């Protein structure tokens, strides 16, 4: 398992903790987190969760240091958006930790000319990060309620449909990013890759989740895992269990 920054280490990376970095408004008397505090959290995330876990692509680091992760989660979860673990976002779903997204994008060798598909885009955070790195992004999600979280950049288009079917309308893609873990990789999605295209995904193997990169060459496709890491499960990619007598 890759070393993750503990909650205590995360707090030490900030001039004050998430709780103490608040103030009471005279009008409402409620604790709120300011935009400045979110910026501090974002930079602490880069320093303690990305740079310490082999996220070393300068473009990926810059994109994740720019995109406001707190805008792509339910408002009540915004103060927790930069924790180094999966974050529940409602409707039985969760957002992967920053480290997971950073490692996948780093190992995928993202190119500025890529056309990308995000499978399980949910609120759109990973799609917004990719929009900083590639030409065009399709954000595929089957639950329309997530689209209300935040507006996406101009080079991102939303698509709605079953996740396991991908989005053939926009194919072929140079990069397909899975924003969550899957037990199997559907042939329908592999078929949507361009020749030489890559898939970046957490894969569940015998109960262990591993980050993996897949590459397509002609009619062949293979995936190689490179790190163990916890990641939320995406619906619709379960391996059918056999009968047990």
* Spatial distance between the Cα atoms of 100 and 98, rounded to a whole number of angstroms: 6
Domains defined along the chain, listed by start: 7-228 (3.40.50.150)
Mean per-residue pLDDT of the chain: 86
* Spatial distance between the Cα atoms of 232 and 85, rounded to a whole number of angstroms: 10
Contact 115, 173 (CB under 8 A): yes
Tokens found for residue 240: 């059918």
In 3D, which of 86, 120, 83, 133 has the Cα closest to residue 201? Answer: 120
Distances from the Cα of 139 to the Cα of 77, 110, 165, 178, angstroms: 22, 16, 13, 10
pLDDT at res. 33: 66
Confidence band (pLDDT; 50, 70, 90) for 85? very high
Q: pLDDT digits over 187-244, tens only? A: 999 999 999 999 999 999 989 999 999 999 999 999 999 999 999 999 999 877 654 4
Contact 150, 72 (CB under 8 A): yes
* Percent of the chain with pLDDT strictly greater than 70: 84
pLDDT at res. 238: 83
Bigger pLDDT: 194 or 35? 194
Contact 190, 216 (CB under 8 A): yes
In 3D, which of 232, 226, 195, 204 has the Cα closest to residue 213? Answer: 226
pLDDT at res. 35: 72
Average pLDDT rounded to a whole number, residues 34-59: 93
Q: pLDDT digits over 135-188, tens only? A: 999 999 999 888 777 889 999 999 999 999 999 999 999 999 999 999 999 999
Confidence band (pLDDT; 50, 70, 90) for 19? very low
């Amino acid at each position: 398992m890759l070393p993750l920054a503990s909650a205590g280490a995360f707090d030490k990376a900030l001039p004050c903790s998430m709780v103490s970095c608040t103030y009471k408004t005279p009008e409402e008397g409620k604790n709120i987190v300011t935009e400045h505090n979110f910026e501090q959290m974002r930079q602490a995330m880069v320093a303690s969760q990305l740079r310490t876990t082999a996220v070393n692509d300068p473009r990926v680091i810059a994109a994740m240091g720019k995109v406001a992760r707190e805008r792509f989660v339910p408002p009540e979860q915004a103060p927790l958006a930069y924790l180094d673990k999966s974050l529940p976002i409602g409707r039985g779903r969760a957002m992967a930790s920053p480290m997971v997204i950073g490692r996948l994008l780093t190992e995928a060798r993202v190119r500025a000319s890529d056309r990308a598909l995000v499978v399980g885009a949910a609120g759109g955070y990973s799609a917004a990060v990719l929009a900083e790195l590639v030409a065009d992004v399709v954000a595929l999600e089957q639950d329309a309620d997530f689209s209300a979280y935040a507006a996406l950049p101009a080079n991102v288009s939303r698509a709605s449909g079953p996740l396991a079917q991908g989005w053939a309308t926009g194919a072929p893609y140079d990069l397909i990013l899975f924003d969550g873990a899957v037990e199997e990789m559907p042939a329908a999605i592999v078929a949507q890759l361009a020749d030489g295209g890559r898939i970046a995904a957490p894969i569940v193997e015998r109960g262990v989740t591993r980050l993996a990169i897949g590459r397509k060459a002609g009619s062949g496709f293979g995936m190689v895992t490179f790190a163990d890491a916890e990641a939320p499960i995406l619906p619709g990619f379960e391996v059918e269990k056999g009968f047990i007598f």
